[in-house]
Structures are given as structure tokens and as C-alpha cells.
Amino acid sequence: MATRQTAGLARLMRAPAIILLLIWMIVPLGMTLYYSFLNYNLLNPANVSWAGWFNYQYFYTDPAFFAAIRNTLVLVLGVLTITVVLGIAIALLIDKPIWGQGIVRILIISPFFVMPPVAALIWKNMIMHPSYGVFADIARFLGLQPVDWFAQYPLTSIIIIVAWQWLPFATLILLTALQSLDGEQMEAAEMDGAGPVSRFIHLTLPHLARAITVVVLIQTIFLLGIYAEILVTTNGGPGNASTNLTYLIYRAARLNFDIGGAAAGGIIAVILANIVAIFLMRAVGKNLD
Amino acid sequence: MARVITPRARIGYTAAAWIVALTLFFPILYTIITSLKTEQEAIAGFRMIPSFTLSSFEAVQNQNNYWRPFTNSVILAVGSTLVALVVGIPAAWAMAFSPTKNTRGILMWMLSTKMMPAVAVLVPIYLIFLRTGLMDTRTGLIIVLMLMNLPIVIWMLYTYFREIPGEILEAARMDGASLKDEILYVLTPMAIPGIASTMLLNVILAWNEAFWTIQLTTTNAAPLSAFIASFSSPQGLFWAKLSAASVMAIAPILIMGWFSQKQLVRGLTFGAVK
């Protein structure tokens, strides 16, 4: 089908997208790499000098960096655990014949479409506020002392908010996978006397393995970049208690005007994301015909 | 599922599913309820029945600075999506209908640009924007949002275009259709649903984007995501108004989202889950 003429046309049609994405990738990344070796403070732009590995060294010895790495990992793993476990449970539940399935699905998927700053503000003011939030009302109703969530459990609070936002995604993906499960195989297993637990472990779970992998990898990419939720609720505090890597780099660049340091942090973020990306590309690549 | 289920079990599942659904939806529901309360009512403790006043919506709309971010959101979401389609449709088209040896590699590479963490390029993009005068302009943000979503646009369109059966095209040719006829009467009608879903998902993603909109705008080009994030600093307890602004910010996208559940699965997992 591809004559020389159409092949030339096809090349012409592909070119703009390829060139744009190439520039978008190479130029900023190259600049980040270059800046990461400079002493460069925006407050004092006349005084730029070569820093060598200093910025990386600085990051490496800064206690805030270790707190940020730890918080990033806790945040990602916490949200993943909650969304995958609850996602499987909810997907199994709404896959059952229930009344009002359509509305139930719409209600469950909704949090995913709430923009991050709004989601964070809703939770901060309406739900978790120590004096006026719904949780405080419930605590008082039960005769307990209301919890000041963002002061006492800052990272946990953010994990709850982010998990609420991503649970719909996990549920939807897992439900989609669940619906392609072979019903006859299930019935055969049931006839052979396999109980619900063993059917779940030996049939459902292996069938969901691929979907779980996809959920984990895609969410990880997004969860490494959590930003608005932290900005709106805790500002990374108290201290560094809820600062993740993204927030730390933002702070270096935009609040401390430390271009060199922020760039070094950016390169570290790229390395982390790439480790995840390699696995993701493998999982997706297998599916490409 | 074909298996028989007792009515009693069905009632049990239904009840459990509704409890889960309402619990997850509760924060949104409560925001809607709060937006219909008066300010005093909003902080007066838990109450599910509001006074049904629209005064908060009125107050938010009367603030001159509300419609600017709203307009910005529309322009940025629609604008960046349209530009991405203009660039993406020909590219996806070419890759789907005249694939070469390296098409697969190009697609994977495009996807890989999506893995680049935004914060890694924050410094250069910020400096470029400062120096070129793109800071706080809609043009600048449209460019960034477009580049961010372009890989998803191309991937989604590619998978849709691949599903257009080649036999139909051949049949049209046999009937003596010219290239123009082919494109106009055969391919375009079959491609439109795919293009529409791609557009929908990308408007949603661009509307909700918060990192770049907060970093690259102050007042002029700030869309709703950046505007609402600016409420994080304490400025009194205007919860009813904040809720009204939130409801107005999320309602259009929430409704679009309900209609695009299937595309979402496909678009965000790049077809890896069926």
C-alpha cells in the first residue's frame, strides 16, 4: 500500500510531532543537566560559577533530602497499597449484580475528576479541619478529642487525600480487567468444589496481575510528582514532615532561587522516574502488536 | 455473570456497594451541600440539609476576578487540546496507515517523554518563560500543556485509527473513489468518534493540570486550578464561597468524566488493559 509518494507524505505528517517532542525532551533536560553543575542563584545572577558535583553533594548531605526521599517512598507505597487493595475489593463488589450499578459507578469514579487543589481544599477545610471538619464532628459525637490531622499526621493526611483521588482509577482499571474474566472457568472451578477464597487466589488474582501491574506503574509515575496537594495543605511541613522530592525541588527553585541545586534535584528525579518507566515500557510494549 | 444469585445476596451486595459509593462520593457531595449554605451555617457543625441559598454562587460570580480564571481554564484546556490534535492527527494517521520499521520505536519513545517528571524541567522552563516574556501568558501555557498531552493524543488516535478496517478503504477504491473522496467520505466519518474521545480525555487532563499552571502563572493567565490553589493561605472562613467556587470549577469536568469512563481506561493505560 505504501508507494513512494505516500511514504514521503507519511514522513511529512509525522515530522511536526516528532520534532516538537524531541525539542521538548532534549532542550529542557540538557539545560537542567547543565545548570546542575553551576553555582547559580537567581537573586545574584551576576555571580555564576562552575560548581562541579557540589550541588549533588549538597543534596546528598542535606537532611531535608533524605526526609524528602523517605516521604516520597512512603507516599507512593502508602497510596499504592491502599488503592490496589481497596481497588480490588471494590471492583469485585461492583462487578456483582447490584441495583443501580450505573449510578454506583459514577459516584465511585467521581473523585478522579476533581482537580488536585480542590480535592486538597475540600479535605483540609470540610473533612479534616480540627474544629469545623466532619471528622472533628464525628470525634466529638463519640466523646473523643478531635485530631488536628495536618499538624499531627501530615504525611498520613496527604496519603489519605491522594488515595481518595486515585482509588477510582485503580477500581476502574481493575473492574475492566475483571469483566474480561472467563465466567465458565469460574463455574467449572466452583463445580469442582473450589471455595470463594481459593477461586480468588487461583483464578481471579492471576487474571488481574497484568491490570495490577499497569495500575502500579502508571500511578507511580503520577505519584512521584504529587505537588498541589502538599502546597495547599501543609506546605511540606511541619519541618520537612510532608516534603516530597517534587516539593523539595520546587522549594529550592522558586523559594530559595537556587537554580543549580534545584537542577541537581531534577536530575535525581529523572533517574528515579526512569527506573519506573523502564518497567512500564516493558509492560505496555508487550501489548503492542 | 450467568451464575444464579439469590435475591437476598443481591440485596446485600447492593447495600454494600451503595455504602462504598456514597462514602467515596461524600466529600464532593458535602462540598455541594456547603455551597448551598450560608457562611454561618457552613461552620456551624455537621448538617446535611442546607438552607438552599444561592448567595455563595452569586458572591463568587460577582467577584470580577472569578470569570477571568474560568475563561482561562476554558481557553487553555480547549486550546491546548486543539493544537495537540492538529499536530497529533497527521502523525497518528501516518503511523497507523503507512507504518515503517521504526514506527513502533517512535511510539514507545513518544510515550517515554510522558515519563519525564515535570519538576525535572521546572528550572529551564521557568527561566525560558521569564526571558521570553511567556510567563503568565495563555500562549505559554497552551504550549506546555499541549506538549504534555501530545503523546497521549497520538497514542489514543493511533489505536483508534488502527481499528479502521482496511477492506473498507479498498472497497471504496474499487468503486472508483478518489483520494479526496476516500478521506472525506470514508475515513473521516470512521475516525470522528476516536478523535472525539481523545479530545474529551485531553480537555479533562488539561483542565485539571495543577503543577504547570501554578508555576507559570500569577494573575493574568491563571486558570481555575491555580486560582483555587491560591485560597490555601488563610483568609478567614469563607467556606460556603470556597465550596461554590469549587463546585463551579469541577462540575463541567465531572460531567465530562462520567461520559468518558471507557476512554479513560484506554487513554491512560495506552490500551494495555482490556
C-alpha span between A164 and A83 (Å, rounded):
8
Domain-located, residue B81: yes
pLDDT given for residue A39 in this prediction: 83
| pLDDT tens track for A197-213 | 888 888 889 889 888 98
Tens digits of residue pLDDT in B191-231: 888 899 899 999 999 999 999 999 999 989 999 999 988 87
Instruction: Give the number of domains in chain A.
Output: 1
Among the partner residues A121, A190, A227, nearest to B246 by beta-carbon distance: A121
B258 vs A: CB within 8 A? yes
Optimal mutation site among B119, B231, B265, B274, interface A, most CBs of chain A within 10 A: B119
A5 lies in some domain: no
A238: left (phi over 0), alpha (psi -120 to 50) or beta: beta
* B20 reaches A (C-beta below 8 A): yes
CA-based nearest residue in chain A for residue B247 = A118
Q: Reply yes or no: is the peptide bond before residue A238 cis, omega within 30 of 0.
A: yes
Interface of B with A in 100-129 (CB under 8 A): 100, 104, 106-108, 110-128
Contact A126 B34 (CB under 8 A): yes
pLDDT of B116: 84
- Per-residue pLDDT band for B2 (boundaries 50, 70, 90) equals very low
Q: What is the pLDDT of residues A128-165, one digit of tens each?
A: 988 888 999 899 999 999 999 999 999 999 999 999 99
> How far apart are the C-alpha atoms of A44 and A89, rounded to whole Å?
55
CA gyration radius, chain B = 23
- With respect to residue B4, please indicate whether it lies within any of the assigned structural domains: no
- Within a domain: residue A16? no
Instruction: Report the share of chain A in percent with pLDDT over 90.
Output: 51
Q: Which residue of B has its CA nearest to A182?
A: B1
Structural domain including A190 reads 26-286
Q: Which residues pair with A49 in a beta bridge?
A: A39
Q: How far is A99 from chain B (nearest CA, A)?
A: 6
Assess A115–B contact: CB distance below 8 Å, yes or no. yes
pLDDT digits (tens, 9 = 90+) for B251-270: 999 999 998 887 777 777 77
Confirm or reject contact between A147 and chain B (CB < 8 A). no
How close, in Å, is residue B62 to chain A by CA atoms? 20
State residue A171's pLDDT score: 96
Identify the pLDDT of residue B39. 82
* Cβ–Cβ gap A253/B123 under 8 Å: yes
Please indicate, yes or no, if residue A19 is contained in any of the structural domains: no
Q: Is residue B44 part of a domain?
A: no
The maximal CA–CA distance of chain A, rounded, in angstroms, is 79
B145 within 8 A of B212, measured Cβ to Cβ: yes
> pLDDT tens-digit profile of A97-114?
899 989 999 999 999 999
B74 touches chain A (CB under 8 A): no
**B38-86 confidence digits (pLDDT tens):** 888 887 778 888 888 888 888 888 876 888 999 999 999 999 999 999 9
Does some domain include residue A50? Answer: yes
How many domains, chain B?
Answer: 1
Instruction: Give residue-wise pLDDT tens across range B110-141.
Output: 888 888 889 989 999 999 999 999 999 999 99
State the nearest Cα–Cα gap between A117 and chain B, in angstroms: 5
On whether residue B236 sits in a domain, the answer given is no
Residue type, B98: S
Contact pairs from chain A to chain B, CB under 8 Å: 311
Mutate to test the interface with B, among A22, A48, A125 (most CBs of B within 10 A): A125
CATH number assigned to the domain comprising residue A183: 1.10.3720.10
- The residues pairing with A39 across neighbouring beta strands, listed in sequence order, are A49
Contact A281 B112 (CB under 8 A): yes
Task: Determine, yes or no, domain membership for A21.
Answer: no
State the pLDDT confidence band at B237, using cuts at 50, 70 and 90.
low
Q: What pLDDT shows up at residue B148?
A: 92
Single-letter residue type at A158: I
- Angle between helix axes A205-223 and A154-179 (nearest 10 degrees) is 140
pTM, to two decimals: 0.91
CATH classification at residue B196: 1.10.3720.10
Contact A11 B94 (CB under 8 A): yes
Say what the pLDDT of residue B64 is.
65
B119: chain A residues, CB-CB within 8 Å = 225, 227, 245-246, 249-250, 265-266, 269
A21 CB near a chain B CB, below 8 Å? yes
Q: Given A21, A122, A231, which is nearest B113 (Cβ)?
A: A21
- Residue B179: closest C-alpha in chain A: A6
| pLDDT (0 to 100) of residue A275 | 85
User: Is A2 a member of any domain?
Assistant: no
Residue pLDDT, tens place only, B174-193? 887 777 787 788 888 888 88
Could you tell me if residue B274 is inside a domain? no
Q: Scanning every residue of chain A, which has its alpha carbon at the shortest distance from the alpha carbon of B230?
A: A232
Residue A238 neighbours by CB under 8 Å, 6+ apart: A151, A154
Answer whether residue B152 is part of any domain.
yes
Q: Do A269 and B113 touch (CB under 8 A)?
A: no
Residue B94 in grid coordinates: 501516518
Classify residue A81: in a domain, yes or no.
yes
With a cut of 90, say whether residue A6 has pLDDT above it.
no
Candidates A55, A72, A107: best to mutate against B (most CBs of B within 10 A) is A107
The reply to whether B164 falls in a domain is: yes
Domain extent for B99:
68-230
Residue A3 lies inside a defined structural domain of this protein: no
Cβ neighbours of B45 in A, within 8 Å: 132, 137
State which of A258-267, B36-45, B81-90 shows the largest mean pLDDT.
B81-90
Q: Which of A1, A137, A253 sits opposite B45 (nearest CB)?
A: A137
**Cα distance between residue A123 and residue A228, in whole Å:** 13
